[in-house]
C-alpha cells in the first residue's frame, strides 16, 4: 500500500527542507522558524551523541553542528524514498563544489504532517562518524 500523493509530497518536502533549512541554515532566526514549521513540538532527533527532544533541543543541536562547519553545504545524493508515514534521504556535507567530507542518511517518521522523529545515520567510512562515535 502506498501513501496518498499529498502525504508523500509532504514527506518529500519535510526531508528536503529539513536538510537545508534546519541543518544547512546559518541564520538562527530562520532555522528556528523552520523547526517550528517542520517539526512536531515533541519531535525527537536521534543522532550519535544521543536523542535530542523538542524544538529547543533540536535548535540548539543544529546550531552547534552548524557552528562546527559554517561553510559546509548539505547536498541530497538522490531522491527521497517514501514508505507509509516514513521517508529517507541520502546526503553529503562539505565545502561547496567539492566532494563531501561526510555522508549519511536521514530517516524520518511523520505524524500529522510534521517530523515526529529523525534518525541520522552517518556513513561509517567518514571522519565525522568516527568522531561522533569515539
Q: State the CATH number of the domain containing residue 110.
A: 3.10.450.50
Domain total for the chain? 1
Structural domain harbouring 112: 5-132
Quote the pLDDT of residue 1: 44
The pLDDT value recorded for residue 128 is: 59
Tell me what the mean pLDDT of segment 36-56 comes to. Answer: 97
Q: Could you tell me what percent of the chain has a pLDDT over 90?
A: 86
Q: What is the pTM of this model?
A: 0.89
* C-alpha grid cell, residue 80: 527521497
Average pLDDT of 33-37? 98
Amino acid at each position: 500500500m502506498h501513501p496518498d500523493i499529498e502525504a508523500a509530497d509532504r514527506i518529500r518536502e519535510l526531508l528536503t527542507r529539513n536538510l537545508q533549512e534546519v541543518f544547512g541554515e546559518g541564520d538562527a532566526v530562520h532555522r528556528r522558524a523552520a523547526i517550528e514549521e517542520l517539526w512536531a513540538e515533541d519531535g525527537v532527533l536521534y543522532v550519535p551523541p544521543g536523542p535530542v527532544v523538542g524544538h529547543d533541543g533540536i535548535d540548539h543541536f543544529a546550531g552547534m553542528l552548524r557552528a562546527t562547519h559554517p561553510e559546509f553545504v548539505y547536498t541530497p545524493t538522490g531522491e527521497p524514498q517514501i514508505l507509509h508515514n516514513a521517508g529517507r534521504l541520502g546526503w553529503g556535507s562539505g565545502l561547496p563544489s567539492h566532494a563531501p567530507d561526510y555522508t549519511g542518511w536521514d530517516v524520518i517518521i511523520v505524524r500529522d504532517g510534521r517530523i515526529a522523529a529523525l534518525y541520522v545515520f552517518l556513513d561509517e567510512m567518514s571522519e565525522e562518524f568516527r568522531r561522533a562515535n569515539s
